[in-house]
Amino acid sequence: MTGAIGQKLPNRWVVLLLLLGIAIFNHADRFLLAGLVDPIKHEFDVSDSFMGLLMGPAFAVFYSSLAIPIAIYADRANRVRIIVAGCVIWSLFTILSGYAASPTQLALARVGVGVGEAAFQAPAYSLIAAYFAPEQRGKAFAVIALSTYFGQMLGYGAGPAIAEVQDWRFAFKLFGLIGLGIIALAWLIIREPARGQAATVRAAFLPLVARTFRLASYRGMMFGMGLGVLSGIAFGFWGPTLFSRSFDMTMAEAGSAFGGAFVIPGMLGAIMFGIIADKVARRGYGSMLILSAIALAAATAAVIGASWASSLGVALAWAVPAGLFGGGWAVGIYAGLQYILPDNLRATGTAIAMLAVNLLGYVIGPWLAGALSDQFGEGALGLQQALSVVLPIGFVGTLLLWRAAKSLEADRDTLQAQEK
C-alpha cells in the first residue's frame, strides 16, 4: 500500500492509534464542559438552559454544518492535512475557553471548537476505510469508538480534578495544549493513501443528497443513529450533574464516579462489539445493523434505570449493562455507511449522515434536557424528569436501524451501479 506520491505508508494500526489519540481529545474537549457545569454556572451566574446551549448548539451547529463542505473537499483532497488543520483550530479554541471572561466569550470559544472539530469525523472515517479492508473495519471503528470513553474519563474525571487543584480555566488550557502535541505527532507519521481514478471524480452535492436520501437503509442509519445519539448524549452530558445533585457529591466526585462506572464497561463493550461485528458481517452487513439496534435498545433501557436509581450503588450497577451495550452500538452504523458508499463519496456521504446525527444528538439533546430541567425545576428531580422525556427517544432509533438492515445490501448495489 502506497501513499499519494508513492511513499510507503505507515502501519495501519499505528495510524489508527494516532487517530484514536486525536479523537480522544476531540471528545474530551466536549465532555470537559459537561464535567464543569456547576463551577462555570457559579462563576457566570447562568441557568441550566444556558449550559445546555453551550454544550449543544454553540458547539454543534457549526460542527455539523461545516462538516459538509469540509467533507466534500476531503473526498478529493489530502485528508490528513484537513484533520491536522482542524485539530489545531479546536485545540487553540479550547485554550481560549480557559480565558473567557464572560458567558458570551465562552460561547464564542465553543463555536470555534465546533469549527475545528468539523474537520475530523468524516475525513477520519474515510481515511480508516482506505487503510482497512472491509472485513477489518468493525475492529477499526470499535477502536475509534473507545475515544468517547477515554474522552469521558478525561472530561468527567481529570477535568474536575484539575479544576479543584487549580481552577476550571486551567483544565481547558491544559487539554488544548495536549491536543496540539498529539496532532504534531500525527502530522509527522500519517500519510494519505493513493486513490483510484474514480475517487478523483467530484460528485455534485445536491444530486448526491438526493441519491442517498432515496436509499431506505441510508435514511434509517442516519436518523436511527441520530435519535440514539440524542438519547445517549443527553445522559452523557447531564449525567455527572445529575449524580452531583442526587447523591450530594462534588462535581469532581460525581464526574469520577460517573466516568469510571460507565467508561470501563463502555470500552469493553466497544471492543466486544468490534470483534463480534466483523464475524456477524460475514453473513451480511445487515446483520451488523440488527446487532446495533439490539445494543441501542438495551443501552437505552439501562441509562433510564441509572437516571432513576435510588442510590449511587444502584446507579453504578446500571452502568455496567449501559456501558456494555452502549459502548459499540454505533460501530455497526459507521461500518454500514462505509460499506454502501463508494470511495469517492465516503467523506461527503458520511458527513451528510452525520449532519442529521449531530443536529439531533449534539444540538437538540443537551439543549432539550437543560430546557426541560428549567421547566421542571433545576434540582435533581427536575433533571430526572427532563431525562425521562429525552432518553426513551433512543427506542425510536432502534426501530429505524432494524428497518434499515432489511434494505442495506440492495441499496449498496444500487449506489455502486450508479458509479459505473
Contact 295, 326 (CB under 8 A): yes
pLDDT at 416 over 80: no
DSSP code of residue 9: P
Contact 19, 127 (CB under 8 A): yes
pLDDT at 412 over 60: yes
Mean pLDDT of the 22-28 span:
90
Domain boundaries 12-418, corresponding CATH code? 1.20.1250.20
List the grid coordinates of 133.
479492508
The per-residue DSSP string of 145-181 comes to HHHHHHHHIIIIIIHHHHHHHS-HHHHHHHHHHHHHH
pLDDT at 4 over 60: no
Q: Which residues pair with 374 in a beta bridge?
A: none
List the grid coordinates of 380.
435533581
Q: How far apart are the first and last CA of the chain?
A: 24
Amino acid 294: pLDDT: 95
List the grid coordinates of 129.
476505510
pLDDT at 36 over 80: yes
Q: What is the mean pLDDT of the chain?
A: 86
List the grid coordinates of 97.
475557553
Mean pLDDT of the 297-320 span:
92
C-alpha distances (whole Å) from 394 to each of 57, 328, 360, 400, 414 are 20, 15, 11, 10, 29
pLDDT of 11-20, one tens digit each? 899 999 999 9
Q: Among 273-282, 296-305, 362-371, where is mean pLDDT lowest?
A: 273-282
Q: Which of 260, 238, 240, 239 is nearest to 250 (CA)?
A: 240
C-alpha distances (whole Å) from 88 to each of 20, 85, 183, 299 are 16, 5, 7, 34
Q: For the chain, which residues make up each domain, given as ranges?
A: 12-418
The whole-model pTM stands at 0.73
pLDDT of 176-214, one tens digit each? 999 999 999 999 999 988 765 444 455 567 777 888 888
pLDDT at 97 over 90: yes
pLDDT of 359-404, one tens digit each? 888 888 888 998 898 889 878 889 999 999 999 999 999 999 999 9
How large is the greatest C-alpha to C-alpha distance in the chain, in angstroms? 62
Mean pLDDT of the 81-104 span:
94
pLDDT of 40-92, one tens digit each? 988 998 888 888 888 777 777 788 788 888 888 888 889 999 999 999 999 99
pLDDT of 344-362, one tens digit each? 777 788 888 888 888 888 8
The per-residue DSSP string of 338-360 comes to HHHS-GGGHHHHHHHHHHHHHII
Q: Which of 165, 225, 158 is nearest to 361 (CA)?
A: 225
- What three-state secondary structure class fits 8? strand
List the grid coordinates of 243.
449524580
Amino acid 204: pLDDT: 66
DSSP code of residue 100: -
Mean pLDDT of the 210-228 span:
91
CA 155 to chain centre: 14
Share of the chain above pLDDT 90, in %: 33
